[in-house]
């Protein structure tokens, strides 16, 4: 992991230097031109007063460079045009340094002054990553979960004052501040090299626009959209070939409805027309469930136990022969009717 981050940093730094050189190329070229042409002028015209010898071209370039900073070792010339040259070179050279060269150095070593460009440089080193568009509350949670899955993530957010931006940056996730619909925004995030894009804005039309733009730039990318219109979400999957388009209202409705039944439901969702539920059950002391085997429990209530957590361990694939004890926790997959029956059975028996 450390080596991977170091390689990315070095690669991003090289790209950043190249970008800075391109941005400052006029000032840098003019400065180099002053040094080289000034060296040529000294090579041709300057003669040591004592010996009458001329400078080599390397000596002349070095002399010009030091003359810019008023530190030359050459004796002041007697001919008028070289005297003008000795006064003119520092003025021109220092002007170019103040205008471009110093700014280049500051931008190169102080990343905070150009955070956006540095974020783009970091993003350019990513490949096989996931792009998350919209870094609000939901987008932040998606980023956090993807990192837990050990996925590389690049974010795009148009609001530079976003509540979660600093938190996400502290997770070492590069963030591009831009509207993902703008030309070039997705490319800055490396959409051509990405495996998936997750779109979490609160506008269905914006989500659709971003999805189509991503698919145009990378026909093989997996697109996951947040949508509020369930019917539109289904059409997106069928018509545009988007791999997954989830309606937030459709996802929330089963959970809200299940909660209204007074059943302890953690998660509910539909598979076709079948409502499936996930629920946590804490085995109560004195409950008929104490001493019951998991296999017997699954048969009696027509449920699936997907997690067992005892006093000493947790198991995602529990042994069917495990006998439940008071204080054990199980996570089950079942219908609402089965869950109601299970929770009723779990109540402690009276004296």
CATH number at residue 327: 3.30.70.1450
- The reported pLDDT for the residue numbered 269 is 74
70 phi, psi to nearest 5 deg: 60, 35
Q: Which of 264, 260, 232 is nearest to 248 (CA)?
A: 232
- What is the distance between the alpha carbons of residues 38 and 74, in angstroms, rounded to a whole number? 14
Using 50, 70 and 90 to split pLDDT, how confident is the model at 226? Answer: confident
Q: Is residue 262 predicted with pLDDT exceeding 60? A: no
What pTM was estimated for this model as a whole? 0.60
Same domain for 163 and 90 = no
β-sheet bridge partners, residue 131:
154, 197
Q: Do 31 and 105 have their domain in common?
A: yes
Asked if residue 254 belongs to a domain, the reply is no
Instruction: Supply the pLDDT for residue 179.
Output: 92
Q: What pLDDT, in 10s, does the model give residues 28-60?
A: 788 888 889 888 888 888 888 777 788 888 888
Indicate which CATH number applies to the domain containing 217. Answer: 3.40.50.720
Q: What are the φ and ψ backbone dihedral angles of 154, each rounded to 5 degrees? A: -125, 135
In a domain, 351, yes or no: no
Within a domain: 256:
no
In-domain check, residue 64? yes
Are both 217 and 295 inside the same structural domain?
no
Name all contacts of 204-207 with Cβ < 8 Å and 24+ positions apart: 204/228, 204/229, 204/232, 206/181
Domain finish residue from 77, 110, 143: 110
Phi, psi (deg, nearest 5) at residue 304: -125, 125
For residue 314, what are the domain limits?
A: 261-345
In this prediction, residues 223-249 reach a mean pLDDT of 71
Condensed to tens digits (0 to 9), the pLDDT of residues 69-102 reads 888 778 888 888 888 888 888 888 888 777 666 5
Look at residues 249, 280, 297 and tell me which one is the last residue of a structural domain.
Answer: 249
- Provide the pLDDT confidence category of residue 18 given band limits of 50, 70 and 90: low
Residues 99, 143 within the same domain:
no
Q: Name the least confident of 106-115, 155-164, 177-186, 222-231.
A: 106-115
In a domain, 172, yes or no: yes
């Amino acid at each position: 992991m450390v080596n991977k981050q170091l390689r990315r940093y070095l690669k991003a730094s090289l790209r950043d230097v190249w970008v800075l050189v391109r941005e400052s190329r006029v000032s840098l070229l003019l400065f180099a031109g002053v040094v080289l042409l000034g060296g040529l002028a000294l090579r041709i015209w300057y003669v040591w007063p004592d010996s009458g010898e001329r400078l080599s071209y390397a000596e002349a370039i070095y002399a010009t460079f030091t003359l810019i900073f008023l530190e030359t070792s050459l004796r002041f010339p007697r001919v008028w045009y070289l005297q003008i040259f000795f006064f003119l070179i520092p003025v021109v050279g220092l002007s170019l340094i103040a205008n471009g060269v110093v700014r280049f150095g500051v931008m190169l070593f102080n990343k905070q002054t150009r955070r956006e460009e540095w974020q783009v440089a970091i993003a350019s080193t990513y490949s096989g990553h996931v792009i998350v568009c919209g870094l609000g509350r939901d987008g932040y949670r998606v980023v956090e979960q993807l990192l837990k899955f050990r996925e590389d993530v690049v974010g795009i957010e148009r609001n530079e004052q976003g509540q979660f931006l600093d938190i996400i940056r502290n997770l070492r996730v590069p963030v591009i501040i831009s509207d993902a619909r703008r030309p070039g925004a997705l490319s800055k995030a490396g959409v051509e090299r990405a495996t998936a894009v997750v779109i979490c804005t609160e506008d269905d039309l914006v989500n659709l626009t971003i999805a189509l733009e991503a698919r145009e730039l990378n026909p093989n990318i997996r697109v996951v959209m947040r949508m509020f219109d369930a019917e539109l979400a289904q059409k997106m999957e069928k018509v545009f070939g988007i791999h997954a388009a989830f309606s937030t209202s459709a996802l929330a409705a089963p959970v809200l409805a299940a909660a209204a039944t007074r059943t302890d439901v953690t998660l509910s969702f539909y598979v076709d027309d079948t409502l499936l539920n996930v629920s946590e059950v804490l085995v109560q002391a004195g409950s008929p469930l104490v001493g019951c085997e998991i296999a017997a429990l699954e048969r009696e209530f027509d449920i699936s136990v997907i997690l067992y957590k005892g006093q000493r361990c947790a198991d995602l694939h529990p042994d069917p022969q495990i006998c439940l004890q008071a204080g054990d926790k199980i996570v089950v997959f079942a219908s609402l009717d089965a869950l109601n029956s299970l929770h009723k059975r779990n109540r402690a028996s009276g004296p």
